[in-house]
Amino acid sequence: MRCACLVALRQLAAIVSMAVAVGHALAMQPLADTELASVHGRDGLAFNLQNFSLSGPLTLTYTAPGESGGSLWLGNLSLSRSDDAASTFSDPYTLRVLSRGAGLADVIRLGEPLNASGLLKWQFAADWGVNASGIDFQGGALVVQDLVTRGGSVTLTTPATPGVEGIAFGLALRADIGNLTLRPRGRDDASEQWRLSGIHLGAANEDGVLLGTPWAIADATNQPGIVNAITDANGTSMLHIGIGWPTSAVGAPLASLVVDSIVFKSDSLPGGMLDLGSSRIGTMQIQYLDVKLRAGF
């Protein structure tokens, strides 16, 4: 028994010595830039939200540049989402790195749940107001009820145009909103309000019929959006948000917007209500967008 133990100990010592020797021989070395450039990400992750809610005294303010100092603010934000317990794992959000080939940079794409059952519903409320020309105007509240999005996505990459810096993006959206309401007396007082009910936005055909698919507002390859900082000839810095001209033969994607009901409610109206009925934009598209916001400093 003693001989067997000694033999085993000698074999173990030999293995350890060999491992140490190999470790010294194969020490970690920094990778060259060419090796790093050849690595491509093809995996992603999936996740979902359960019992999500956000509320509190958070205020977002946009202040106009210049001496006027006018501002628009949103405060006391409240945001929550209902769950689809049967599809928590089978219909998640997805985050992937995808290749476009043809020498184009890879993209990072965040995809929304398909939400076919429509059980994932967002609720949002915020107080709002304007400060301008010495007037502090309290606008009341903006309330969004039963916002349902289905299968949309956000795509991020680098601009393909040489010399252009910033973030290139794609954006696809399909949305249905139960009610979008402005309440001047506060979010819990519905005695006076302007309400849009049954809002539907998505891709459409040439006849303005909703197709039940997301509208590609911007496409990272064929009609990329851009977010960057630019400086004009006078040295003024600006935040630039744009969508380029479409490069595909089919042109910019078509969309349709439908509002089932537009209602004003007030004690000052005959019968307390003014019903304007429904409204519809049969087809619309974004051919080009160029927005510059001047920095306030």
**Is residue 49 domain-resident?**
yes
Q: Give the residues of the chain that fall short of pLDDT 70.
A: 1-29, 31, 33-43, 295-297
Q: Which domain holds residue 74?
A: 43-294
Other beta carbons within 10 Å of 219: 21
**Is residue 255 domain-resident?**
yes
**Is residue 51 domain-resident?**
yes
Tokens of 171: 């954006």
Q: For residue 174, what pLDDT is reported?
A: 98
- Taking only the tens place, the pLDDT of each residue in 45-104 is 999 999 999 999 999 998 887 777 789 999 999 999 999 999 999 999 999 999 998 889
**Is residue 215 domain-resident?**
yes
Q: For residue 8, what pLDDT is reported?
A: 45
**Is residue 23 domain-resident?**
no
Q: How far apart are CA 107 and CA 126, in angstroms?
A: 34
Q: For residue 64, what pLDDT is reported?
A: 80
Residue 173's nearest CA partner among 203, 199, 198 is: 203
**Is residue 77 domain-resident?**
yes
Give the chain's domain count.
1
Q: For residue 31, what pLDDT is reported?
A: 65
Other beta carbons within 10 Å of 223: 24
**Is residue 69 domain-resident?**
yes
